[in-house]
Amino acid sequence: MKKSIISVFLIVLIFVFAVSGNSTYLSVSEEKEFSENPYGDMSAVDASVAVDAQLMTYAKSVVLMEKSTGKVLYSENENEKLYPASVTKIMTILLVCEAIESGKMKLSDTVSCSANASSKGGSQIWLEPGETMTVEELLKATCVYSANDACTLLGEYVAGSEPAFNELMNTRAAELGMTNTHFDNCTGLDDTTDTHLTTAYDVALMSRELLKHDFIKEYTTIWMDSLRGGETQLVNTNKLIRSYDGITGLKTGTTEKAGCCVSATAKRNNMELIAVVMGSENSNDRFNSAENLLDWGFANYEIYSPSVESNSVGNIKVLFGKTDYVGVKIPPMSPILINKGASGNITVDAEITDSVTAPVEENQIVGKIVVRNGDNILSEYDISVSEPVKKLTFFDAFYKLLTSFSK
């Protein structure tokens, strides 16, 4: 009996300590130490690969961007405002993709051609007023053949009219941070405008956004196809489609004002690059410039994807909690752009507390994942608990004591 009284006294003391005690780690309100970059930008390990001489490019402006990080690897005059010609259609295609994936329209929808769409000059598939085609056929004509009539009809179908679609294009451009861009139309025709302008950097931004819609590559990688039961032949205006290893698109453009332009995208292993070339004197110059940019990017950079498995971290002991242990959540980690061959220098470490004192709050931070290149910290990610844990009450403690006696 004496032993039981002493045990109850001890458990009461433990409970009092638990009530007054502080957590041995961070509460949600104190988590700043480990949350400076919980899901932040994964910067390049070293994006300053030495270039002994300028890359051989033949254009007024160029940009080479890595898709997953948005890192610009190389640029010349990237913010110079220039006419984009049919590279404009990247924005048109993006808005069509977004309308499809949001459920606003379907690839199988049938669209009747307007007089306005059929009147467009330049590259076209000679749509007649009242002629019908599916959204998929119009998208194919736009991506492959750069058809102005098909492109205009798609814009009208998305927004109700060409002017409304133009407004939508400029709104979306602003949302993407395309601060040096203004669109006057969805085709890139520039005979009657001096204000339809963009930059190589802005084109890279909208190209990157379009590549998030992976299904579009089914159309941007077509070399030859046809419409109207084989009567209308389509040949891709991007000759890199049939010659460059890993090519995924994306869009060419040519007018007298713009010169020859291209946004060329390619993927090798798990890295996708965007090479924008604007204002080349001829078609060969734009494609050679794009190839040189892509070749240089693939030769000098690669993507490293850090990872830590939750089961490799294990559970954390909970002091004075209703449960003795709590699991952890490992956050998703973004890919990192690194110099080619530098992956052997990268380490991914999970730094986590041994125990935490109840109450444990929902999403309480209990550690961090640190990605390093040698001594250089590239990024940090918070590790949090998988579930909250309530503090042990006096009655919980007393029940545990009684249970232990019954064993």
Rg of the chain over Cα atoms, rounded to whole angstroms, equals 29
Q: Which of 89, 140, 251, 368 is catalytic?
A: 89
Taking a C-beta distance cutoff of 8 angstroms, is the pair 165, 114 a contact? no
Taking a C-beta distance cutoff of 8 angstroms, is the pair 341, 366 a contact? no
User: For residues 104 and 164, what is the distance between their CA atoms, to the nearest angstrom?
Assistant: 16
89 is catalytic: yes
Closest alpha carbon to 300 in 74, 16, 28: 74
Q: Which of 86, 114, 123, 384 is catalytic?
A: 86
CA angle 247, 248, 249 (to 5 degrees): 100
User: For residues 253 and 189, what is the distance between their CA atoms, to the nearest angstrom?
Assistant: 10
257 is catalytic: no
Taking a C-beta distance cutoff of 8 angstroms, is the pair 71, 57 a contact? no
Taking a C-beta distance cutoff of 8 angstroms, is the pair 329, 366 a contact? no
User: For residues 136 and 194, what is the distance between their CA atoms, to the nearest angstrom?
Assistant: 32
Q: Which of 35, 61, 146, 263 is catalytic?
A: 146
43 is catalytic: no
Active site residue ranges: 86, 89, 146
